[in-house]
Structure 1
Amino acid sequence: MSKVVVVMYVSMDGVVEGPSWTSSFWNAEHAKYQHGQLIASRALLLGRVTYEEFVASWPMRDESDAFTARMNRIPKYVATTTLDKAEWNSVILEGDVVEQVALLKSEPGEDLLVYGSVTLVDHLVANGLVDELKLFVHPVVVGTGRRLFCDGAVGTTWTLAGTAAFSSGAVVLDYRPAKAP
């Protein structure tokens, strides 16, 4: 059985939208961490907005870099109600996203990795399909923008399973759903 692992860039004030504010914190430590996450995964699971942002840039990058080569070759599943077709080694999830992701999770293999895709993540969390939530917190206050969980999000409790700290001041907080008492 596969796990759904979310890696989400977040500011100190909870903003996840348009993470261009992360670039000044990127360094070799971040690259190594992200490479490890990608290598440990069998596929990407993306929402439409993140997919469209990624497909507009990743396929044009130099594949002599191992991360880029892996990013371009890994299978991708796109949750969307507006796209009819997908490129870049991608498949559109047909029908109910919750059912489709549950089916993907039931297959053997490595993780299903979610980058960004905040609307999808909100939906997956509300339906109990996220196994790990890795918040990549950056030491910046953005001020405005979309937050990780929308107003009215289903209340859930998480357990801190691990942390990683980087010389840039960013940290990863690795959460797992808390088990009911």
Structure 2
Amino acid sequence: MRTLIVSEFITLDGVVDSPGGGDHPHAGWTFKDVEFDEAAYEIKGREQEEAGCLLLGRQSYDEFAPVWPSMDEFAEYNAMPKYVVSSTLTDPEWTHTTVLRGLDEVAALKESDEPGTILVHASARLAQGLAAAGLVDRYHLLVFPVVLGSGKRLFSSDAAKTRFTLTEHAAYANGVQLTVLDVVR
């Protein structure tokens, strides 16, 4: 069975909304409000190397697909299979992209014998649905020393009680903390 990892930039109050740009009033909080420290992003390189595919929600797909294909730093993502969970997307233009119509298809993807992890980037609503369905195995969280007060959150207010095991942790000079958590089943 493949490991499904949710990877997020997250604030101290649990907001994952618009870390690099978007509609949130404080969009871009990862680079506007916190000094850049390259060491904090080392996990992102590891994620690309270990991922066998990328899983996205529709909104994240719509934001990434026009930009990532032209970015050299995302060469591995551009070459690997990508899956979008959507009930409306019919003709994805990003190469190697397949549309999944529901979480049952995500569960089947986890059961496949394809190599590498399944990596979920951004996609707060998808991450909440995957968690509720018991499909998330691990979280890679870069926790930024910022409180936004409002916005999309990683965990819904009605999420079931979940326990985690800390498998990796690091703190960086800019206050960002890496927290890698495995879901306890």
TM > 0.5: yes
Report SS of the residue matched to 1:142: coil
- Aligned twin of 1:163: 169
Cα shift at 1:25: 4.0
Say whether 1:104 aligns with 2:82: no
Matched-pair contact (CA < 8 Å) for 1:25–1:138: no
* Aligned mates of 1:85, 1:155 — CA distance in 2: 38
Structural RMSD (CA): 1.5
**What does residue 159 of structure 2 align with?**
153
Q: Distance in 2 between matches of 1:176 and 1:84?
A: 34
User: Identity over the aligned pairs, expressed in percent?
Assistant: 35
Q: For structure 2, which runs of at least 5 residues remain unmatched after alignment?
A: 20-27
**Secondary structure of the corresponding residue to residue 133 of structure 1:** strand
- Using the size of structure 2 for normalisation, the TM-score is 0.86
Q: Deviations over 1:39-83 (max 9, x none)?
A: 10010000011111101211233x2xxx32112212110001121
User: What is the aligned partner in structure 2 of residue 141 from structure 1?
Assistant: 147
Alignment match, 1:93: 100
Q: TM-score under structure 1 normalisation? A: 0.88
Residues paired across the two proteins, number:
173
SS of 1:161 mapped into structure 2: strand
- CA distance in 2 between partners of 1:138 and 1:102 (Å): 31
Per-residue CA deviations over 1:121-177 (Å, capped at 9, x if unaligned) read 111111111110122100111222122122222222222222122232111111111
| Rounded Cα–Cα distance in structure 2 between residues aligned with 1:127 and 1:26 | 35
In the alignment, structure 1 residue 33 sits paired with structure 2 residue 43: yes
Whether the 8 Å CA contact 1:138–1:171 is kept in 2: the answer is yes
